[in-house]
Structure 1
Amino acid sequence: RKICKACKCSQEDHSLSSDVEDDRKIGRLLSDSKYAMHTARVKGGDGIRIYKRNRMIITNPIVSRKDPTFDTITYEWAPPGLTQKLAMQYMELIPKEMQPVAGTDGAYYRRRQLMRQLPLYDQDPSQCRGLAEGEVKLMEDFVKKYKAEALGVAEVALPGQGGSGKEEGKPQDKTVAAGKPPESTNGTLEPAPTAEHYRCETCKQAVPGDCPVVYADRAGYSRQWHPACFVCCRCSEPLVDLIYFWKSGAAWCGRHYCESLRPRCAGCDEIIFSEDYQQAEGRAWHKKHFACLECETLLTGKPFALDNAGLLCPTCSKSKRP
């Protein structure tokens, strides 16, 4: 189970992964995809790729003191390819409690979301305990397919400039020639909205021409989102590091995209690739994980109690009652 044995809290409440582990996980996710430019090969790592996470350090002089000193703010992640001015504008359009400033609740929130939205066991069969021998290939094909067809890394630009600064290291903070329509992922030209007609795809409100917006290339560049509105269509959580999965005309987080295609085990939290699994009250379990949360007794074909806390046998259910 991916929970604390003592208090039954989730992994993200107790054992967050390290920055290095997160960067390796995202590097693995983006490798073998068209977003591999966001990764770098690890020297001597036998082909392993690591996430080229873009950090941003802001240094402001403190002029009130006699000796010149500086106040330094480090953002643990910032959208790449922007001038510092535009990147700061983007950050200011995100709720303060979600801004990934090092040492703050916002940085902690980002790391929790990396674990929640993009669990390692949704992309790496070797991290799964629920896979039967014949299901490893099924999962490998599943991952390969979503990397090719759904996975995306959104970009930040001014309205009308999405997709225009693809070259790495080329900051986007410029004016695009008037009347140049944006290009979609299949190479066809899409009608360009006029400045007064840019609207956020989520809230449908107008987007000011001087404020950064989010573009998702799989959605086409005629759509844009306010930074705070680029969220998973299922859980409404902001998409961490702008990593999304595109399906049915909407952006999903990795967790809920996978769940939209395959059931997820309520016991081990892994995707179920077997066609023979247990279901009850809208939830699913690997058959070997359909067990009491407290005493681990298998409950297939036996009475059980099910609530938000989990699956319990009648004995443990009675003992937990006040």
Structure 2
Amino acid sequence: MFARGSRRRRSGRVPPEAEDPDRGQPCNSCREQCPGFLLHGWRKICQHCKCPREEHAVHAVPVDLERIMCRLISDFQRHSISDDDSGCASEEYAWVPPGLKPEQVYQFFSCLPEDKVPYVNSPGEKYRIKQLLHQLPPHDSEAQYCTALEEEEKKELRAFSQQRKRENLGRGTVRIFPVTITGAICEECGKQIGGGDIAVFASRAGLGACWHPQCFVCSTCRELLVDLIYFYHAGKVYCGRHHAERLRPRCQACDEIIFSPECTEAEGRHWHMGHFCCFECEASLGGQRYVMRQSRPHCCACYEARHAEYCDGCGEHIGLDQGQMAYEGQHWHASDRCFCCSRCGRALLGRPFLPRRGLIFCSRACSLGSEPKAPGPGRRSWSAGTVSTPLAASTASFSAAEGASDTSTKGTSTEPAPALFPYLS
């Protein structure tokens, strides 16, 4: 765990709205729920839907990213004579591997999934742009894309970037194995690459190291290495993002590599000290209880307001400090009043029960009887369908109190309650 101070980091360079070419672009994940991309002040996400830029309909590679890519490759080529120059676009493709004849380009792309082939104006071109933004974050290389770095941090970033270029960066070369050669073994799948087959070579891995085109993927995210750009480390190839994370922690809030002498670590993830705050309201979580949801910390108030479950018995929301029962997407307060037979009202805590059409019963007789008892105020109606399995065993699930590390008691009919952890400094 890193614990080295409390400096807040909220200011920094944010491109003026008029300069952002992706402003207003729709989100591919949220669809109509997002009014259009608007860059957050210091997070690398949309202010509206909280999705990253690459999840939006970005139609072209940002000019800044293209410039950084060119610098990456030119810097690498100063230290190597093995890999070719960067690829270029053609009338049919947005990018092609360099140095190939047209028939070899076709042979290379025929090895890839159809939706990842970068035909112009195709899903494959969108995939390439998305991966360029994700795999090669500009803020991993240049201080101008970071928020409020101190001078010492800027020096560390420059040294970090230069070292990676010098020792790890490379670009794959695509070649055809001569038919007179028996071939080689793919570094990823371990299968044969025969004479006449097309393969990707990475000089950083050694002259004989090669991959099937579809196997040249990042060892962490398993995505195709975009434009064949790789970082070689400890016998494996990585995309730029995940290689950087092997060397330095990345802030989960602003997405930048952490160079400050202080940071916070919680649940295996890292934050700049001033960035460990609620994902919704951005209130500082220093010394506060919080709920981690999808690796994003929330203050208790925001979590209850946005994500708390509602009781299928009384219709009220279930507080973080209240016990709850859960079964196949339904939730109840862990009380005799709420978790009870829908016909006779018998308490079912710690007892087997029969789920049927979104209701729960104490016995088959009650489940087949006349109308269930009148619902309480605000009770919601469910239509989960008939469950014809044997009686389910119920086990209460309780929210963790401050200082606890385990969130629920496991049982066959229970889904874990949200985890609560005290602030870790």
Contact 1:130 1:268 in 2 (8 A): no
Q: Distance in 2 between matches of 1:222 and 1:53?
A: 22
Q: Which one of the candidate residues 56, 61, 80 is aligned to 1:14?
A: 56
Partner of 2:89: 55
Aligned in 2, Cα 1:12/1:147: closer, same or farther, shift over 3 Å? same
Unaligned runs of 5+ in 1: 39-50, 58-73, 160-174, 179-194
Q: Distance in 1 between matches of 2:281 and 2:62?
A: 35
Q: Distance in 2 between matches of 1:81 and 1:308?
A: 43
Name the one with the larger helix percent: 1
Aligned in 2, Cα 1:309/1:247: closer, same or farther, shift over 3 Å? closer
Partner of 2:127: 109
C-alpha RMSD of matched pairs (Å)? 2.1
1:90 maps onto 2:81 in alignment: no
C-alpha distance after superposition, 1:246-294 (max 9, x if no partner):
0000100000000000000000000001231011101100001111111
What SS does the aligned partner of 1:305 have? strand
Partner of 1:218: 204
Residue 142 of structure 1 aligns to which amino acid in structure 2? F
What SS does the aligned partner of 1:109 have? helix
Partner of 1:137: 155
Deviation for aligned residue 1:221: 1.8
Q: Distance in 2 between matches of 1:15 and 1:135?
A: 33
Residue 78 of structure 1 aligns to which amino acid in structure 2? V
Q: Distance in 2 between matches of 1:98 and 1:214?
A: 17
What SS does the aligned partner of 1:156 have? strand
Partner of 1:162: none
Q: Distance in 2 between matches of 1:288 and 1:147?
A: 30
Higher deviation after alignment, 309-318 or 145-154: 309-318
Q: Distance in 1 between matches of 2:304 and 2:184?
A: 58
TM-score (norm 2): 0.59
Q: Distance in 1 between matches of 2:70 and 2:262?
A: 33
C-alpha distance after superposition, 1:9-64 (max 9, x if no partner):
111112637335142231132233326999xxxxxxxxxxxx9541133xxxxxxx
Q: Distance in 2 between matches of 1:226 and 1:143?
A: 29
Q: Which one of the candidate residues 119, 137, 140 is aligned to 2:137?
A: 119
In our comparison, the structure showing a higher alpha carbon Rg is: 2
TM-score (norm 1): 0.77
Q: Distance in 1 between matches of 2:190 and 2:86?
A: 33
Unaligned runs of 5+ in 2: 1-42, 310-425
Q: Distance in 2 between matches of 1:299 and 1:279?
A: 13
Q: Distance in 1 between matches of 2:47 and 2:62?
A: 25
Aligned in 2, Cα 1:101/1:239: closer, same or farther, shift over 3 Å? same
What SS does the aligned partner of 1:54 have? coil
Contact 1:35 1:153 in 2 (8 A): no
The 5 Å alignment of 1:234-313 reads 234-308=220-294, 310-313=296-299
In the alignment of these two chains, the number of paired residues is 262
